Structure 1
Amino acid sequence: MELFEGRPADCSGRQEREVRVYDLLDRLGIAYQRTDHVPAGTMEDCDRIDAVLEVTICKNLFLCNRQKTAFYLLMMPGNKAFRTKDLAAQLGVARLSFGTPEDMLRLLDVTPGSVSVMGLMNDRDNQVQLVIDRDVLKGERIGCHPCLNTSSLRFATSDLLEKVLPAMGHSPILVNL
């Protein structure tokens, strides 16, 4: 794996959802680095990607309430254990479960394994609430997929909070997991 500055020189053959991410970051004037890789399906894959990016890619979980009337995208450090009960209590929700691949595709235009904060750019009706573990914000840079798991990006955490999320029309709920 190699680290590149910005978008690929040639985006032919790239999925539209990935190119839209590069378009957004470029339009916002955000400096970012990218690496391409095999699909990140294991922790070992993620460890190799993290080493190239020199940042820990967040664990991103797509969740919903029991009635499937409220959806959440949780960003948390990959090394933290996830306890549904703890998060549900902080959100004031009786019960949380994982959202379906169909809802993930419909709301964020991503598929399992490719869930990313960047998918919120496709949630124009704000049906998905972003939830961020405060530990994610402690790093100078953040790592994420550009809506597919064969590339990974890194950019300033401050750019996520001050430019990307406002441009997407999303505000996070901060939690302690």
Structure 2
Amino acid sequence: MRGEAGLMADLGVLAVPFAAYEHEAVFTVAESDVVNAGIPGAHTKNLFLKDNGGAYWLVTVPSEARVDLKALPTAIGSKRVSFGKADDMDRLLGITPGSVTPLAAINAAPGSITVVLDEGLAAAATVNVHPLRNTGTLGLSGATILDLLRHWGHQPLIASIPVQEPA
């Protein structure tokens, strides 16, 4: 696994512009909201999922989105999904819950997981994601995140992620 050191090396070699922020550990979107107030750009949350066919998915959406998990499989071309287990996350991506990020695909073998980026984030000038740990944030463009995924041998999916209406 290449880890954060490999990620930072790739950002340098590829001359990728980014902003880096250090902060206290955050484990939930609610905890992130306090940190995010001082960081410009779109903020994210990530869902590590497994479908009933055995395929793994990492879905990145805006932090405020309430994903409709019943409608999601149709939107991404999957079978019924459920949340993946922490040991599978560690085995496939080399990260732990709370540190989930599309950038963890640097550690994943091509074809072992499908990374999905919400279409609004894919078009955003600045998307804030973890650098494989929950004590930091990197601000990158959505296009750059997609380019990095492709650089690491993944074929990211851009999708309109279905959300639940506010209650």
TM-score by length of 1: 0.83
Summarize the Cα distance change of 1:89–1:30 in structure 2 as closer, same or farther, 3 Å threshold. Answer: same
Q: Pick the aligned partner of 1:168 from 141, 149, 152.
A: 152
| Deviation for aligned residue 1:120 | 0.3
- Stretches of structure 2 that go unaligned for 5 or more consecutive residues are 163-167
* Matched positions, count: 160
Q: Pick the aligned partner of 1:72 from 35, 57, 60.
A: 57
The one-letter amino acid of 2:71's match is D
> Partners of 2:29 and 2:55 in 1: how far apart?
29
Moved more, 58-67 or 106-115: 58-67
Aligned: 1:104 with 2:89: yes
Summarize the Cα distance change of 1:29–1:90 in structure 2 as closer, same or farther, 3 Å threshold. Answer: same
Summarize the Cα distance change of 1:159–1:110 in structure 2 as closer, same or farther, 3 Å threshold. Answer: same
TM-score by length of 2: 0.87
Aligned: 1:119 with 2:119: no
| Deviation for aligned residue 1:126 | 2.2
Moved more, 108-117 or 48-57: 48-57
- Stretches of structure 1 that go unaligned for 5 or more consecutive residues are 1-15
| Deviation for aligned residue 1:19 | 2.2
Q: How does 1:10-25 map to 2 (within 5 A)?
A: 17-25=3-11
Summarize the Cα distance change of 1:58–1:137 in structure 2 as closer, same or farther, 3 Å threshold. Answer: same
| Deviation for aligned residue 1:91 | 3.1
| Deviation for aligned residue 1:122 | 0.6
The one-letter amino acid of 2:18's match is Y
Secondary structure of 2:37's partner? helix
Aligned: 1:27 with 2:16: no
| Deviation for aligned residue 1:84 | 1.0
Aligned to 1:131: 116
Q: How does 1:26-45 map to 2 (within 5 A)?
A: 26-45=12-31
Question: Alpha-carbon deviations, 1:120-174, whole Å to 9, x = none?
Answer: 011124210011221212321111001010111102222222x312211112222
Moved more, 167-176 or 115-124: 167-176
Cα contact 2:61–2:118 (8 A) shared by 1: yes
| Deviation for aligned residue 1:52 | 2.5
> Partners of 1:60 and 1:122 in 2: how far apart?
16
Aligned to 1:93: 78
| Deviation for aligned residue 1:44 | 4.0
The one-letter amino acid of 1:175's match is A
Structure with more contact order per residue of length (Cα contacts < 8 Å, sep ≥ 6): 2
Moved more, 92-101 or 70-79: 92-101
> Partners of 1:100 and 1:152 in 2: how far apart?
24
Q: How much is the aligned-residue C-alpha RMSD, in angstroms?
A: 1.7
Moved more, 141-150 or 19-28: 19-28
